[in-house]
Amino acid sequence: MSKTHLNLKSVFNKEKTFRPKKHFEPGTIKFDLHKKAQASLRSGLDLKAIVVLPSGEDENDWIAVHVVDFFNRINLIYGTVSDFCTNESCPMMSGGPKYEYRWQDNDRYKKPTNLSASMYVAELMQWIEHLINDEAIFPTKVGTPFPKSFKTTCKKILTRLHRVFVHVYIHHFDRVHSMGAEAHINACYKHFFYFVKCFGLVDKKELEPLKEMQATICHT
């Protein structure tokens, strides 16, 4: 077994997940779609091809499955660098000097507020977890309609999750590289990038901080 594989196995484990993983109940449409998506990923198919809506499936179901999957995986990715992302090392949630992100949730933070990166991510993951566990927003029962605002909500979730990628790549890539996790995280990012581009779920300006990397690994 290679050193890289050992590193990845020790790094990408449940204990390092930043928030508890969200699961789909067996026997539901979303569980079946989740399994279909995971099987496509493992098969080594072109990532651009596997994000496309499967024939006969509902677009909202497909988006819901991927939002939850990206939530779980980005949790895991941030967990690998969280020990190095402290209030002292990262006092602002940012992606280099040009991009700073302020937190607002219309609950505890009614106005855009400067938070450290670790506090921003903690608030973000808690906020997403609340949304994806809300049956009125992410229904799991067959026949329960999605709200009209569903896609707008997903755009907001995925836009904010993309900021976690931005922070990890720009401020903690040395840590990612030293663990031998670069290829794994690149694959996760490519999957995310192709999906949000396919369904128009993250605005171009939000993708801007990683445009050079996108050109390299996503062949944009």
pLDDT tens string 38-51:
555 554 567 888 89
One DSSP character per residue, 94-141 reads BSSTT-B--B--SSS--S-B---HHHHHHHHHHHHHHHHT-TTTS--S
**CA-to-CA distance for 187 and 155, rounded, in angstroms?**
21
Query: 16 pLDDT exceeds 50?
Result: no
Task: Tell which residue, 102, 146, 147, 107, has the closest CA to residue 130.
Answer: 107
Report the amino acid identity of residue 101.
Y
Rounded Cα gap, residues 85 and 79, in angstroms: 10
Instruction: Give yes or no for a contact between 36 and 29, defined as CB atoms under 8 angstroms apart.
Output: no
Binding site for Zn(2+), by residue number, is 85, 90, 167, 172
100 Cβ neighbours under 8 A, 6+ residues apart: 92, 93, 94, 114
Predicted confidence (pLDDT) at residue 20 exceeds the cutoff of 50: no
The total domain count for the chain is: 1
Other CB atoms within 10 A of residue 195 CB: 24
Please write the tens of the pLDDT for every residue from 124-159: 999 999 999 999 999 888 788 999 999 999 999 999
Which position has the token pair 């988006």?
63
Detail the residues annotated as belonging to a binding site: 85, 90, 167, 172
Contacts of 209 (CB under 8 A, 6+ apart): 95, 96, 98, 99, 166, 170
Q: Is the pLDDT of residue 30 over 80?
A: no
Q: CATH code at 66? A: 1.20.140.30
Q: Which domain holds residue 35?
A: 3-217
Q: What is the DSSP letter of 143?
A: T
